[in-house]
Every structure is written in C-alpha cells, then in structure tokens.
Chain A
C-alpha cells in the first residue's frame, strides 16, 4: 500500500494491468514483495519475499541471468534495492551508486553516481571499507558515505540533490549502515567504536537533508533524548544521567555505543528499534560501570527521537559484543497469547525474545557454545558473566567463546511466516585476549586489547534455523568459513545465503536440505534479495566481492603470518582463498525461459 503511492510503481502496475499478463500479475501487484524497497526488505526486518515462482520444485533450474561488475573491490556487504523498474546498489568505498534498468534482461546501466568520499576515510574503517546499503524515499536515493556524509541523489537521473556532512572522519567517525526511511525522515547512525567515537543516530529531512534531531548513546539524558516518556522495563536502566554516571570521569565522551546496524520500525506502536555498539576502549578495566547506553537496544519515537525504553544486552561489555544486530519484529504465541515481540540474535550468543512494547525479556537462549556468561536473569534482565573469562589488564584470558565478532555479527537473519523459523547466518569462534591500557589519541584505534581468534577446522560458519517458540535449533548447516552474507527467505519455501569461498546456495526452508548451489567468481558477504521484474518474473540478486571484518585477510591484503592482524580475525581465516578477480559484481538469477 505504502509503495503504491510511489509514481514509478503505480505507473508500472497500471501498465501491467493493461497488458496481456494482467491476470497473472493483479493478485500480487499490490504486494510489496514485488520490490525490495529497503535493505531489510521490510520494516520488520524479515527479509521475506512473498514471491513464490521460484520454489523447492524448480530451484534446481535456477540460472545466472546477468552479472554486472560494480567497478569496486573489497567487501560488498550492501543489499541491492529494487524500486519500479530500477535496481540500485552502492559499492564499498568509494561508495559509487549504480542504477540498472530491469526492463532488459542484460540489465543496462541507467546511471552511475560517484560521491567521491575522502580517501583518508579508508584508514579509520575498522572492518573493511563496507557499505550495507541505500535508502529510498520521495524519488530520492539516500546515500551514506564512508567519510560520514549523507547525500540524496535523484533516483531517475542520478543527479545529486543535497549533501549533509554528519561527522568528522578524521576523528575516526565513519558511516557504513544503510539509511532507514521512516515517514519523511532518513535515520542514519555512525560507526567508529574502535576509535572511541561517541555513538549517535541522526534524523534528516528527506527533502532537504536538514538534521531534525540527533540522539547520542552516551552522555547526559538530554543528549540521549531521555525524557518523561522513557520507561525502561528494568530498574538498572532507571536514573538520571546514567549515560554519564555509569562511566568513570568523562570517559563517556569517547565511549562508543555507535549505531551501525539495521533499524526496525513498528508502525502500530510508532517505535523505531536500534541497537548500540560496543563501549570504548575494548579494555574493560578502563571503564568501570555499566557503560550506558552501549551494547543495548533503544525503542524511540521516530518523529522526535525520544526514547521509550532501553535494554542492555551486555552491560559493561567485556568482549566487543556490539548490540547492533537486527531486531526482527514478529507476533508469536507465548504463554497462550499472541505477543508482539522482537527477535534478536546477539553477539553475546543469546537469542532474545523481547516484548517490543515494553522491552521485557521473555526468553534468552544460547544459539552457540558460550562460556563468557551463564545465562540471562529474567528477573533483573542482567547477563550473568562468568568471571573466569573476564579480561584483566596485563593478563591473558584464553578460550573466550564466542569471540569478539560474536556468535553472529552484522550478517542479517531472515524470517519466514510460513515455517515460523528464524534463519541465522553466523559463526562459531573463540579467542584468546590480552588487554592493556589504551591511550585515547583521536583518529587512532582506542582498543587496549590484542585478540587472536580460533575456529574449528571443520567449520567456523553456521547457518541455523531457530524456532523461537520451541526455543531451540530446528536444523543447522555448517560451513568452512563464517557465513558473512545475509539470509533471504521466500514464499517458495526457500532460504538463500552465500559463502566466503564463493557458493550461493538455496535450501529447503523446512529442513535445510541443499537444493541448489552456484559458483560465484569471488566470495560473497552480500545480502540476497528477491524481486519481480517488469517481465512479471521472480529474480534473486546478490553482490559478490569478499571482505568485511572476516574477509579482510583477502580484502586488505593482510599478512597471514600474523594471527593478531585484522583485529585478530586473521588467525581464524588464514585459509580463506583469494579470488583471482577481486572486483565486485552484481549477480541476478532466474528461471530459464
């Protein structure tokens, strides 16, 4: 319904109704499943497509329809957007935006826009120079660049409309997230937790680029936008200026809590949900206290940014467990009633089910092997740390599970309302860590920790179907490398994901049986999407180009002899093959005609 207000689609639907395929299309024409209008597919972050032309009976025949180079190298983590008869994508730095014409099978380029972000921003991107996608509203493509600018580009022509600097990359502030559009606002947050950058989320007017509000993740209540409406469920989140008082001195000013994950929005509650990343520095001895409001989740009013509730997944985070993983909004039968919940697979290893109106934790169950904590106390909401795995300055802590990228990092899950399973691309890694005092030098890493990760040779990657009602794994597949791509679920009862060694796979959503696999020219850390092209048929698209934190050993040409390289990930990724062609590409798959 929302999308039909957009002229491009309305025109297209009208055209289709008048064509000979009208009968076939009409039923689905009003369905948002035709397009992929935001990186997450929908506001609920389900990444579920209602298209079912490609299904378990014919997916074996899926073929590569088009392959278009992006012109960039390194980790291609973005989700393509599909609006009307165009597909839009953003590359890693230099963040070029490409628009392809879907009316022709060979996907000719409609336009290319180069925002030309500063090259020096590459030096402060913690985990490869990635972008996770674009936003779209009012005929504008909303772009966030690595050097912390927001830009609007005319979707029809690729012409720049406005440009708003949002941060100072020379202090370590970057943007890697996909802008989220709610109403007439574009919501964009910063990255830079590894530089002690203070986290924020800003709301920009889509038409003008003017900043309407900004909400910080640390500091006084007015900066965090905590007011009379703020009613957190747990007592430990109540009090004045906790964003200052749960830190030593002025440590909150370089305390991280960045906002770089995917946002969710519930129109009925009028709440936006966003996570906050790790506190800085990594060395926890330098920041005694809960370090509010890092490694948690906020529910905010989109119009004003006011917080309504907050919950902290990892108070006083010990292991770089960012809290920015996606929140998938679903309705579940719990305790005999249908409840509006959010599902959150956290880096700390627990699959949380929260009442999304109040922030109450209904359940929290491990989905990997965990030894850093012994569970979540549902009465207080507290994560129960195991002291044996608490890093102490100057000491070595061995066999910390999960490792810093967590049980699951940014790679987004998918939900199928047909199987009622949550599909998690993730990893099982442990690490050794040694911490030491870090000096805060703006624009340089603020870590105070050396870590070396380790995963089993049989498989560091997992693709897990989680049943949130039964609170257990329904089925699971192992992969050699962390599954660093997103997941996609479709009404054809298929789930898709890609591997870092270059296989794009389709599984039966019910039991995980591998039904189709396609060799890509390079590893993929992209987000698969589904759409219906103007020809009336379903297509699946994904970007290939290996990188990201897990793939930086290849993308950044790191030396594999140093296991502490790439934030300690090199030790677990020494055997990642480097593709002969490092350039990224867009792949489109469909059924042969």
Chain B
C-alpha cells in the first residue's frame, strides 16, 4: 500500500524519472485515458515489456495457478470476465495487494516496474487491447493459441 501511495504521489507531482525504473508520467496518463484513473500502465503498447511480463508470469509461478490463461487454482485470465475489473489499476492492484479469494499479494516480492510489466502482459492474455504487441508464440508446450491470435477485447475496455 505504501508503495502504491508513493507511486501515486510521484505521478501526481508529474516528475519524470528514468523510464526503466518508473516510466509513467502524468503527461502520458492524460494522453492515454484522459480520465481520472490514477494509474495507467505505461507498458500497454510496449511489446518488449510485455514479453518480459510473460517471462515473469512463469518466473513468479503465476502460470502455476492461471496456466496459459485458462486458469486452474486461479481464475482464467483469457476470458472476458474480470472479477475485480479489467483496467490497469485493478490488475496492478490484484498483483501487488492480492485478492481475498486466494490471489496472494506479490507486492513484497516484485518491483513496481515488474508489476506493471506483468499487468501489461495479463491484459494481452484475452487478446486485447493491442493485438500488435501481444506475444505471438508460446515459449512453452503449446496448449492454446498464443496471445496475439486470441480474440481481441472490445475497444471500450482500452
């Protein structure tokens, strides 16, 4: 929580930081959503960061529960149902703070940057919002269509 407040504070103050460490900026946020969303994912259109997110998805054992998106111990992430919301903030919060029905909090194990990369990858698991930046091949035993070949999500979710 402290971590998120700090991040929000940095965003509100609009200070620019090394993009690798804290790539979000208030200017970008305004351009992307134009909404009151406190946090938008800077990596939503970054194919390299999304590929890195996919690697982290296995490294932190996310795949052990969510598989390649079909779910298992954890919910499916490749379908249209988002129990806690499909927006960047909700996905980031799920990863960092956890959720009451079993999603553990990874905030103490991940850097903020890693969490954003993971969140950006998770948003590609059901196809959208940007098919062009979604991974197009499986690094593993192929048991489903790669992310870039899944049904794109409705544009309104972007």
Contacts and interface: CB of A to CB of B under 8 A. Distances in A.
B73 interface: yes
Interface stretch (A73-81, A218-226, A442-450, A458-466): A442-450
Contact of A567 (B69, B72, B75, B101): B72
Contact of A556 (B71, B109, B145, B150): B71
Given A559-B70, A562-B78, A433 B101 contact: no
B70 A563 contact: yes
B64 interface: yes
Contacts of B100: 119-120
Tell me which of A121, A170, A561 has the highest count of chain B C-beta atoms within 10 A of its own C-beta: A561
A564 B101 contact: no
A556 B79 CA distance: 13
A445 B61 contact: yes
A441 interface: yes
B59 interface: yes
6 contacts: A123-B74, A194-B64, A434-B141, A450-B143, A451-B141, A567-B72
Contacts of A565: 67-72, 76, 143
B141 A444 contact: no
A391 to B, nearest CB: 11
B71 A564 contact: no
B48 interface: no
Interface in A433-483: 433-434, 436, 438-439, 441, 443-447, 450-452
B92 to A, nearest CB: 18
Say what secondary structure dominates the interface of chain B: loop
Contacts of B63: 450
A207 B24 CA distance: 60
A254 to B, nearest CB: 13
B6 to A, nearest CB: 24
B57 to A, nearest CB: 12
A571 interface: yes
A446 B61 contact: yes
B104 interface: yes
A581 interface: no
Q: Which 8 A-B pairs have the closest CB atoms?
A: A123-B102, A445-B64, A562-B70, A565-B70, A563-B143, A564-B143, A444-B61, A559-B76
B135 to A, nearest CB: 14
Given A438-B61, A452-B143, 12 more contacts: A122-B102, A123-B104, A439-B61, A441-B60, A441-B109, A445-B61, A446-B61, A447-B64, A558-B67, A559-B69, A564-B67, A570-B70
B109 A566 contact: no
B65 interface: yes
Given A444-B64, A562-B144, A123 B73 contact: yes
B70 A561 contact: yes
Tell me which of B68, B81, B103 has the highest count of chain A C-beta atoms within 10 A of its own C-beta: B68
Given A452-B141, A563-B143, A126 B78 contact: no
B78 A559 contact: yes
A560 B63 CA distance: 16
B144 A563 contact: yes
A557 interface: yes
Nearest to A282: B64
A331 to B, nearest CB: 42
Given A121-B102, A436-B58, A444-B64, A566 B143 contact: no
Contacts of A556: 71-73, 75
Contacts, number: 123
Nearest to A440: B61
Given A121-B102, A441-B60, A444-B64, A561 B73 contact: no
Given A439-B59, A558-B71, A444 B143 contact: no
Contact of B61 (A434, A441, A560): A441
Contact of B71 (A122, A126, A559): A559
A446 B98 CA distance: 19
B144 A561 contact: yes
A131 B115 CA distance: 34
A560 B64 CA distance: 17
B157 interface: no
B43 to A, nearest CB: 22
A569 to B, nearest CB: 8
B70 A124 contact: no
Contact of B70 (A125, A443, A564): A564
A396 interface: yes
A171 to B, nearest CB: 10
A552 interface: yes
Interface in A92-128: 119-126
Given A122-B102, A450-B141, A562 B69 contact: yes
A564 B141 contact: yes
A170 to B, nearest CB: 8
Contacts of A124: 73, 102
A113 B99 CA distance: 26
A566 B71 contact: yes
A562 B141 contact: no
A560 B74 CA distance: 14
B140 interface: yes
Contact of B101 (A123, A126, A563): A123
Tell me which of A122, A125, A562 has the highest count of chain B C-beta atoms within 10 A of its own C-beta: A562
A445 B74 CA distance: 11
A122 B71 CA distance: 13
B25 to A, nearest CB: 31
A446 B63 CA distance: 10
Nearest to A438: B61
